[in-house]
Structure 1
Amino acid sequence: MIYQQPLAYLLGVEGLALLHAWAGDNGLDQRFVTARLAEIRRLLDDETLSAHPGVLVERDATGTAYQQWAAGYDDPGNGLFDLDQPVVEEILDSLPVGTGVRTAVDAACGTGRLSAPLVDRGYRVVGVDGSPDMLARARRRLPGTELLAGDLARLPVSDGSADLVVTGLALTHVADLVPVFAEFARVLRPGGDLVVSDVHHDLVLLGSVVKAVGAAGQAQLATTHRHTTADFLRAALATGFRVRRYEERPRPAAPEEPLPEATPEPNPEPTKGISDWRDWPWSLLGLVPDATRAAWNHPAVAVWHFQLG
């Protein structure tokens, strides 16, 4: 079980903002620090926040989370798609076109978000996902595409049969990356390409986790892990991959630049509402907009291009 309490989250955001100021991030001056300290005092004095009982949250509800999210997964508003997909497609554009003879595996294909541009580029696509509800959406989106039920660590694909493997925003749900990368290496031909996007571990820490509501109304979270750059490198190098490209989006501001106006989520407007747990942390960010802007100055997605051998 995880215990989540809104005041605790807001104080954590304030603390991260103060650490950015401590490190000398541009624009976070004495006035900013003084304002944060005063805001912390106000938060602590807010009886609505301090008296909130918090929420006990169950872990490892990935299946339920994606069953409930499937219907709205492709709706506008998932800002991570706008960050990772342009980089993924830029990498795809650097590779040979499919011309109907090259095979691409979309591992954890979901609703077919990344399968669609592969089809457009002429690949024979095999999509694999563990969620029946997400696969049903993919089948409606991509009729005629081979879409199979399966697990990332046991892909229903023959050895050495793929020229390309892609996977988008899924590896955060995997505890150990090594078996998954070994499976990617198994299905790829020598010299094959692997394109991976994932939720950046800093964004997971800030609370960007897929939620669910259990049958009895209980709060639940999808299984989520914070994989660092080193975790990806260890898994990739151990299974025969070499790095061709790595991007983090949005990039942190350079020291001489002002903090970006845009955060991975829209910069919040001040609000006084706590809202329902299902809206946390997004409904809380507007309570401390200046601290949020500083604390959320981190990458949101990481995109890798690996090559086998």
Structure 2
Amino acid sequence: MLQELGHHVIGVDASPHMLDQARKRLPGADFLEADLHRLPLPDNAVDTVICALALTHVPDLAPVLAEFARVLRPGGNLVISDAHLLVSYLRPTLARRPGPDGRPSLLAEYHRPLSTDLAAAIPLGFQVRHCEEPRRRRHSLNADTAPNPLPTHMTWDLLHWYPEASAAAMEYSPIVVVWHFQLDSIVKG
């Protein structure tokens, strides 16, 4: 969408496979292999940083947000979306595809209260412009029409015994948090 609006898009990911997929979908964008802690961009290089569903896998937010502040121009925007803390209570971390040893692997997930995001961002000169906590779309609890709100292989048996309760919990609980921060417009020194 940003590219269609005329923006120069630079995508960064640590996974070569994900970068290959992104290049296929957006051939006109620049894609760089890197870790969020060391973005291959000069200081004050970009107007906006968008980080989608990645920070839940980072143990310490402060260094990553400091890196975002480094590459942003003064007055630049940071938009973050990530799994909401409440999701960790409603569903455990699920195994992903098999790892190098053939066994299912887990991506490390760090579930934090929203105050942790603020505690990491504000000392770096970020100001909150907006925060949103979207919920799942409302749906009927009718078993014939309602989607299964959680995977069927859950280990928490109560979810299977009381599917209406699990559906209600998922319907009314935020699933992600979306932050819009703006970096102070004072020239960084």
Range of TM-score over shorter length: 0.7 to 0.9
Q: Which amino acid aligns with 1:173?
A: H
Residue matched to 1:250: 135
The number of residue pairs the alignment matches comes to 176
Cα 1:281/1:147, change in 2 over 3 Å: farther
Residue matched to 2:40: 156
1:183 lines up with 2:99 in the alignment: no
Q: Which amino acid aligns with 2:35?
A: D
Give the SS at the match of 1:225: coil
Cα 1:295/1:305, change in 2 over 3 Å: same
1:136 lines up with 2:15 in the alignment: no
Give the SS at the match of 1:194: strand
How far residue 118 of structure 1 moved from its aligned partner, in angstroms, is 1.4
Spell out, residue by residue over 1:29-54, the C-alpha distance to the aligned partner (whole angstroms, 9 max, x if none): xxxxxxxxxxxxxxxxxxxxxxxxxx
Residue matched to 1:9: none
Give the SS at the match of 1:191: strand
Q: Which amino acid aligns with 2:58?
A: V
Cα 1:141/1:268, change in 2 over 3 Å: closer
Give the SS at the match of 1:222: coil
Whole-Å separation in 2 of the counterparts to 1:148 and 1:282? 40
Structure 1 unaligned spans of 5+: 1-116, 252-259
Instruction: From 21, 28, 51, give the equivalent of 1:167.
Output: 51
How far residue 194 of structure 1 moved from its aligned partner, in angstroms, is 0.6
Whole-Å separation in 2 of the counterparts to 1:119 and 1:282? 43
Instruction: From 268, 290, 306, give the equivalent of 2:148.
Output: 268
Instruction: From 159, 162, 166, give the equivalent of 1:288.
Output: 162
How far residue 250 of structure 1 moved from its aligned partner, in angstroms, is 1.0
How far residue 267 of structure 1 moved from its aligned partner, in angstroms, is 4.4
Give the SS at the match of 2:41: coil
Structure 2 unaligned spans of 5+: 185-189
Q: Which amino acid aligns with 2:27?
A: P
Residue matched to 1:200: 84
Spell out, residue by residue over 1:208-235, the C-alpha distance to the aligned partner (whole angstroms, 9 max, x if none): 6462323444232101000211011001
How far residue 182 of structure 1 moved from its aligned partner, in angstroms, is 0.5
1:308 lines up with 2:175 in the alignment: no
Cα 1:189/1:216, change in 2 over 3 Å: closer
Whole-Å separation in 1 of the counterparts to 2:126 and 2:73? 12
Cα 1:148/1:299, change in 2 over 3 Å: same
Whole-Å separation in 1 of the counterparts to 2:140 and 2:181? 29
Residue matched to 1:95: none
Q: Check whether the contact 1:172–1:198 (CA below 8 A) recurs between aligned residues.
A: yes
Whole-Å separation in 2 of the counterparts to 1:197 and 1:143? 24
Q: Check whether the contact 1:242–1:307 (CA below 8 A) recurs between aligned residues.
A: yes
Residue matched to 1:298: 173
Cα 1:282/1:150, change in 2 over 3 Å: farther
The range that moved more, 288-297 or 207-216, is: 207-216
Identity among equivalent pairs (%): 45
Spell out, residue by residue over 1:168-193, the C-alpha distance to the aligned partner (whole angstroms, 9 max, x if none): 01110001111111001000000001
Whole-Å separation in 2 of the counterparts to 1:281 and 1:140? 37
Q: Check whether the contact 1:207–1:281 (CA below 8 A) recurs between aligned residues.
A: no
TM-score, with length taken from structure 1 = 0.52
Whole-Å separation in 2 of the counterparts to 1:149 and 1:281? 36
Q: Check whether the contact 1:190–1:308 (CA below 8 A) recurs between aligned residues.
A: yes
Cα 1:187/1:304, change in 2 over 3 Å: same
Please report the RMSD computed on the Cα atoms of aligned residues, expressed in angstroms.
Answer: 2.6
Spell out, residue by residue over 1:234-291, the C-alpha distance to the aligned partner (whole angstroms, 9 max, x if none): 011011100000000118xxxxxxxx5469xx6439xxxx96xxx4369984442122
TM-score, with length taken from structure 2 = 0.82
Whole-Å separation in 1 of the counterparts to 2:157 and 2:4? 38
